[in-house]
Structure 1
Amino acid sequence: MSKPFDMELFLAGVLTGSHASRKRHLRQANLIQAEIAERWQRETPWAWQRKHLAWFLSHHLGSRSEATRYYYLLTVRLLVRRIEKPWVFNR
Structure 2
Amino acid sequence: MSKPFNMELFLAGVLTGSQATRQRHLRQAKAIYAAIAERWQRETPWSWQRKHVAWFLNHRLNKSKETTRYYYLLTARLLARRLEKPWKF
Q: Would you call these one fold, judging by a TM-score over 0.5?
A: yes
Q: Percent identity?
A: 76
- 1:27 counterpart residue number: 27
Instruction: Give the ranges of 4+ consecutive aligned residues of structure 1 lying more than 2 Å apart after TM superposition.
Output: none
What's 1:66 paired with? 66
TM-score scaled to structure 2, two decimals?
Answer: 0.98
Corresponding residue of 1:48: 48
Equivalent residue number for residue 75 of structure 1? 75
Structure 1 position 3, deviation (Å): 1.0
| Structure 1: runs of 5 or more not aligned | none
Match of 1:10 in 2: 10
Q: Name the amino acid aligned to 2:57.
A: L
- Tell me the TM-score normalized by structure 1: 0.96
Unaligned stretches of 5+ residues in structure 2: none
The aligned length equals 89
